[in-house]
A = this chain, B = another copy of it.
Amino acid sequence: MVSEYMYAIGTAPSPIREFFELGRAKAQELGPENIFNLSLGAPAVPMPEEYRQELIRLMMEEDQVKLHTYTTTAGDEAARTAIAEDLNRRFGTSYTRANLYMTAGAAPAICAVLNAIRNSADEEIALLAPYFAAYNSMIKGARMKKLEIKLPEPDFRLDLEAIERALTPKTVGLIINSPNNPSGTIYPAGDLQKLGEILTRKSGEFGHVIYLISDEPYREVLLDDVEVPFTANFYKNTIICYSYSKSLSIAGERVGYVLIPSENEDFSRLYPAVAGAAGALGVSNAPSLFQKALAKCAHLHSDNELYKKNRDLLYKALTDMGYVCTYPHGTFYMMVKALEADDKAFCRRAAEMGLIFVPCSGFGWPGYVRVALCVPEDVAARSVAAFKKLKESYK
């Protein structure tokens, strides 16, 4: 019989999908030129040219049997070495390829990690709201529970007291995501330091490790000259889940990794558990071609200038009109406070004016919406008039 549990996950309403579909319908009604679809978090700039040239070179010059065959289970060795060296150079770490396990993006990385630290069905994973909506189904997939901790408006920085208060003896992991989808917030070093201290203290109190699972697909998507503190430098039991989806504009190609620092107190058991979970879930390797090109290109990232321009334009235009917005230093999202309590109703009214974005109730923070900045410049510019019309409709 069909699994009730998986059927429920597969048919759960997705706010992103719902409003994306509404956008398609509105495009038919109003004409595509009158639709400003700010709903999807997909890169709007191409991959770095050097990476593209390397992919083409591999396809033209290399032995095609070797190029496209299975990599080792943990991923291509040269790519993992290049990634470790790039991290070491930038963050003062001393990783080797033995700390890395390649995955088909960050989602499988997180799923493998959740399963690797799970021992019973009543264990909790703490999420800091606002959080990426898909964590919900990943936690369900691992058959664990969610513990939601709300971060405060207007900038959604770490509320360390709230976190310390909320953790329970059932909490085995805390997911953070900085720069954050949807708020764009980057957690500063001082806060990460204190978070590490809290996790150390609470792990001691509860008698088991609380892992810090750091989901970092936006680590390289920076809109200002800001630093993203490297999470693993603040707490030894950190596991990093990374994706090249945004940093190399290859969201559809599915390349990422789990990084397990050797500092983890149970490293020699943790790494094989992640590998075991990845195998048992069918979370297979990232595609060989895209991995192998990383051996030369692990230091590259896409140009974020378009996202910055759109952020500058929309942040100024919207705050001038009186909207309350986050000021994202990273990611290509901005949170905007809805002009009524029901964020979904607000999104539906916006759609009438051709503006498509998604309610943050799906991200654990009702009352806000997520506006994606990863759109062509003219779409962002032309959307301003629609935001104005939307504001006026609430007078």
Contacts and interface: CB of A to CB of B under 8 A. Distances in A.
Interface of A: 1-12, 40, 42-47, 52, 55-56, 59-60, 64-65, 67-71, 103-105, 107-112, 115-119, 134, 137-138, 140-141, 143, 172, 208-209, 249-254, 266, 269-270, 272-277, 279-290
A269 to B, nearest CB: 4
A115 B284 contact: no
Given A10-B272, A284-B254, A65 B116 contact: no
A109 B143 CA distance: 19
Given A137-B280, A254-B287, A275-B10, A172 B116 contact: no
Question: How many protomers of this protein does the assembly include?
Answer: 2
Nearest to A139: B280
B52 A69 contact: no
A250 B68 contact: yes
A3 B119 contact: yes
11 contacts: A1-B266, A2-B116, A42-B69, A104-B284, A105-B282, A107-B282, A108-B281, A134-B279, A254-B254, A287-B289, A287-B290
B42 A64 contact: no
A7 B112 CA distance: 12
Given A2-B117, A6-B276, A46 B71 contact: no
A316 to B, nearest CB: 26
A70 to B, nearest CB: 5
A141 B279 contact: yes
A168 to B, nearest CB: 15
Contacts of A109: 282
A125 to B, nearest CB: 13
A12 B282 CA distance: 16
Given A6-B115, A68-B249, A273-B10, A137 B46 contact: no
A274 B44 CA distance: 30
Given A4-B119, A107-B284, 16 more contacts: A6-B115, A6-B274, A9-B277, A10-B272, A10-B274, A43-B65, A46-B65, A65-B249, A68-B253, A70-B251, A137-B280, A252-B289, A253-B288, A281-B281, A287-B287, A289-B289
